[in-house]
Chains A and B, each alone.
Chain A
Amino acid sequence: MTFETVLQSIFTSLFLASVIRISTPIIFPALGSLVSIKAGASNKALEGLMLVGAFTGVMVSAFTGSVWLAVLSGIAVAIVISAILGIFHLYLGTNLFIGSLAVNMMCSGGTTFLMYIITGDKGNTGNLASLSVPNVHIPFIKDIPFLGEVLSGHPVFTYLAFFLTFVVYIFLYRTSYGVRLRAVGENPDAATSLGINVKRVRMTAIIISGMLSSLGGMNLSMAYLQMFARDMTAGRGWIGLASVSLGGRKPLGTLLAAVLFGFSDAIANQLGSLEIPAQLVTMIPYATTIIALVAYAIQQRQAILSRMKKFQEEQPEELTEKPAVSK
């Protein structure tokens, strides 16, 4: 395959559809991270919570034959583990960063451990007959040329991810609970003085972020693939975290940032068919994250500087008499 062919393949509906699909497991933890950051308790155990969701979903679906029971179980387990993290941080004094890393370790080890016990395999659960969520074919839209292939036919989770972005927005900016959550994050003393229980709000935020992350995990094991593989999240939880910073800590921005990473991941896949070594190609999403973060930081800086300069120019300094001011 030549470079031109690769370039051409980017502008196909197949590629764009894959971007959407690949972004999904990043969007979920990104949204989760956003909610917890807004509450002032940045949950960094997203990797672990995703793994837990992915694992539980596979196991429950394989043994009960019900996809929806599996999804519910995945969410339930994530709630429990997030709650544990929340309790340790909010009520027992554990530093949230260290605690998150511990939870990540626990989930990574725990899921692999259990997988081995249940299936006898430490690599993946390929031998299990686990299920996946259905794909959604939207009537009318699916028949539109080009766009139809891009927008329709994705697994349910993908549509859920985009929908949840909107829900998170409404939640944070239009509901009482969300507004109070943001207040807690910005000025916990103010919130306390109004009778808002900071710890409880943060606990809820941590649990919500756990739930969202586990959906992301299930997306990996029940849509993207149809099995659980050891440490299958491969850093997506951290990229979700990065998306929040990149997206200016707002729902829409976070979504776009997550899609950007999905995009670079998809490009990496395309380039893999060229003669470029896989190792270099798979570096792309990670390098993109750094470059994007840097670009964002620089842009923020520039904006501030240019605003200052603008006012400087509009009102030139003059060392003249000033009339007595009565204001």
Chain B
Amino acid sequence: MRPLIDLVNIDKVYDNGVIANNGVNFSVKKGEIHALVGENGAGKSTLMKILYGMEKPTDGEVWVNGEQKHFNSSIDAIAATIGMVHQNFMLVPSFTVAENVVLGDEPRKNGLIDREQVLKITKDLSEQFGLFVKPDAIVDSINVGMRQRVEILKTLYRQAEILILDEPTAVLTPQETDDLFKAIRILVNQGKTVIFITHKLREVKEISDRVTVMRHSKVIGTLDTKDVTREQMANMMVGREVFLDIKKPKIRRGGKRMSVKNLSFVSEIGRKLLSNVNFNLYSGEILGIAGVEGNGQTELVEILTGLKPAAGGTVLVGDCNILKSTPREIRLRKIAHIPEDRLTNGVAVRSTIEENLIVDRYFRKPIKKGLFIDSKVVKAKCKDLIKKFSILTPNGKLPVSSLSGGNMQKVVVAREFSSEPEVLIASQPTRGIDVGSTEFIREQLVEIRSRGTAILLVSADLSEVMSVSDRVVALYEGEITGVFPDASKVSEKELGLYMLGVKQQTYEEMEKYL
């Protein structure tokens, strides 16, 4: 008797020669919650894309419910009752929740879309599976948690029996994660099967029945969750001990480098995204901002780096208020920025590596010589940086698009760190990159910390924030809810409460530590 899902001997080789899946055998039993783990680049997303019809395997067989399938597109997979919730939400921003749920298979009356039915369907599904949404809210205005529920409703609308969730908790708070897990259990109770892609081992232990570990395009093993520890899974994932133990020399905090006072920001549609934000950055210290994405961090970082205007407040560097400064002026003040979205802001993928490395210094000596840019100097300096930051590339004149995610981030880091900044604003610096690069970047952060840079670290990865930062604040709905002068002395659970606004310190309590 074949299991519900049976992927046999799957190979996937891309046109450029990259091997994403190599002889993968993967099966899922009906009604189970099956976790698929591996670090970035292990091939788990590719495997699921094959199962969902988004990619065709180079070799191997796909069996669903006892029948061999050849999916030409996701529509075939959907017809086979497979549904997938992606990491990047596939929603149309200007449509309502309900419109998004039925998109592609709209109920009709007299040739036109039956609007009442659309709303009813959404409501009914939402109630049946305990996934709370507002059917006529415009998707652009709802929060991340609700967006994810909309995505799940989409699959249920299409009668998915098998749900693939791709890194669903990456954008959720601990509380929202609990809600999601509750919903998953309801789904499974009603007969559904769930495949759960993640690299968060604690969640694997909490929710799954079985787990498959992948590494470098191969399956290392499939085990019952109760029979394996997190350490064992981690070992299988990387083949070596993975510990989040950042070696940090003792903190030597120096003078105040940046002082943020009463910062506020209002969005275009009138939502308050930041209010009364106060904190200081000190030389040689890493201040971490813990918070789930969407609580104002993005706006905070953009304001501090000149990419967005604030509504009110001041940001003092020295005795200058940089609130109305341009990015150029801010960089000239030796404030560097690792942006949260490297593809959008951090690099220009069509430009060469060299061109990406000099954007903050092309107008100054030694790169600028007279009226021209000295290409010899550019070549030499970039060669230097490529070596120093271990950027994996044969030469600096290739476009950045030829690099992997981790190496692209290293280009960003190389540029920002080499400008010898006095203040560094790092936003999600290790998101979506391989373990090797992640370790390297964290080491580099500690390195410039030792050299006296004041660092603001914004990260949705709680363990990263807590282990890399010296001091930590929690940001919830645009307000600082708590500050912890010693990051090593607060527990993840405690910090989580502040991150969710469940607990809040008063301004008086916080003042002296901000």
A315 and B312 CA atoms in complex are apart in Å by: 13
- Contact partners of B501 in chain A: CB under 8 A: 325, 327
Q: A195-B73, A308-B268 are in contact. Are A179 and B99 (CB under 8 A)?
A: yes
Q: Which residue of A lies closest to B158 (CB)?
A: A194
Q: Which of A1-9, A64-72, A131-139, A169-177 contacts B (4 or more CB under 8 A)?
A: A169-177
Shortest C-beta distance, B254 to chain A (Å), equals: 28
Contact among A195, A310, A325 for B104, CB-based, below 8 A? A195
| Distance of A195 Cα from B106 Cα, bound (Å) | 13
B363 touches A (CB below 8 Å): no
Q: A175-B113, A187-B93, A311-B270 in contact; A319/B262 too (CB < 8 A)?
A: yes
Highest count of chain B CB atoms <10 Å: which of A192, A315, A323, A325 = A325
| Chain A positions within 8 Å of B106 at CB level | 176, 179
Q: A182 to B276, Cβ gap below 8 A?
A: no
Contact A307 B270 (CB under 8 A): yes
CB-contact partner of B92 in A183, A315, A324, under 8 A: A183
In Å, the complex CA distance between A176 and B112 comes to 7
For the complex, what is the distance from the CA of A153 to the CA of B280, rounded to whole Å?
74
CB <8 Å contact, B113 and A321:
no
CA distance in complex: A192, B55 (Å): 12
Chain B hits for A187, CB < 8 A: 90-93
Closest chain A residue, CB of each to CB of B506:
A321
Chain B's closest residue to A323 (CB) is B504
CA distance A70 to B106 in the complex (A): 38
Asked if B262 and A176 sit within 8 Å, CB to CB, the answer is no
Contact mask A175-197 → B, CB, 8 Å, 1/0? 11001101100110111111110
Contact present for A321 and B92 (CB under 8 Å): no
Interface pair A175/B92, CB less than 8 Å apart: no
A275 interfacial by beta-carbon distance below 8 Å: no
Total count of chain B residues near the partner, CB < 8 A: 47
Total CB contacts across the A-B interface at under 8 A: 102
How many A residues, CB 8 Å from partner? 35
Contacts of A179 in B (CB 8 A): 95, 99, 103, 106, 113
Instruction: Tell me whether B225 is interfacial, beta carbon within 8 Å.
Output: no
Are A175 and B266 interface neighbours, CB within 8 A? Answer: no
CB distance from B86 to the nearest CB of A (A): 7
Could you say which of A193, A320, A324 has the most chain B C-beta atoms within 10 Å of its C-beta? Answer: A193
Q: How far is the CA of A196 from the CA of B100 in the complex (A)?
A: 13
Among A274-307, those with CB < 8 Å from B are 304, 307
Complex contact A170–B103 (CB within 8 A): no
Could you mark each residue 351-382 of chain B with 1 if its beta carbon is under 8 Å from any beta carbon of chain A, else 0? 00000000000000000000000000000000
B248 within 8 A of A: no
List residues of chain A with CB within 8 A of the CB of B267. 308
Check B94 against A311 for contact (C-beta < 8 Å): no
CA distance A191 to B88 in the complex (A): 13
Decide if A317 touches B113 in the complex (CB within 8 Å). Answer: no
Q: Is A326 an interface residue (CB 8 A)?
A: yes
Q: A176-B106, A195-B104, A317-B276 are in contact. List 19 more A-B contacts (CB 8 A).
A: A174-B113, A186-B95, A189-B90, A190-B90, A192-B74, A193-B54, A193-B74, A194-B154, A311-B270, A311-B272, A317-B262, A317-B264, A317-B275, A317-B312, A319-B262, A321-B506, A322-B507, A324-B503, A325-B501
8 pairs, CB–CB < 8 Å, chain A vs chain B: A182-B94, A183-B92, A186-B93, A193-B90, A312-B266, A312-B311, A317-B264, A327-B501
The 5 closest A-B pairs by CB, nearest first: A195-B75, A194-B104, A190-B90, A311-B270, A193-B90
